[in-house]
Amino acid sequence: MRRLILAMLIVCSTSCISFNTLSAQKTVGIHVDARNHITIDGIDPATDDLAKEVQQRLWRSYMSNGKMVHSITVQMDTTVKEETKNEVLFAVKTAQEKTLTVLSLHKYKKRFEDIGGKKQEKIKKQFPVLFQREYGDTTASIKSE
């Protein structure tokens, strides 16, 4: 019985340490190499769905302490195909939009588009990462629509 409790404590403390490390991050760094291999903060994503993985990281950082990471950076090797670049940038933008929707529903029980202007401005000021369209690499930016 004692061994079981000890094992559970070790597993829980390890999970908490990795969770707190994520919440303390200032940026989410995405790198695409010449072979189109994507890493997020130097780690292979748990899923092939980049948008879902980025959204989960943004949301987890918010749920841990009420704040989100400050920015998203995207670095791509010069030999990455244009199609891949566009797919990665689209996935990041999708993740931001979905996180914004979930955040608005969580805080105000309404979609972002349906809340008042003052509340929208408050969210924009408090969570600028959700509205970021420049990702740190000159080849990695998306125009606002």
Q: Can you give the pLDDT at residue 55?
A: 95
Q: Can you give the pLDDT at residue 48?
A: 79
**Per-residue pLDDT tens over the stretch 3-42:** 545 455 454 444 444 444 444 568 999 999 989 899 999 8
The residue whose two tokens read 């004692």 is: 2
**Per-residue pLDDT tens over the stretch 96-145:** 999 999 999 999 999 999 999 999 999 999 999 999 999 876 455 555 44
Eight-state DSSP code of residue 73 = E
Q: Let me know: does 108 contact 115? Beta carbons within 8 Å.
A: yes
Among 78, 58, 76, CA closest to 67: 58
DSSP character string of 78-143: TTS-HHHHHHHHHHHHHHHHHHHHHHHHHHHSS-GGGS-HHHHHHHHHH-GGGG--EEEETTEE--
Q: Can you give the pLDDT at residue 106?
A: 95
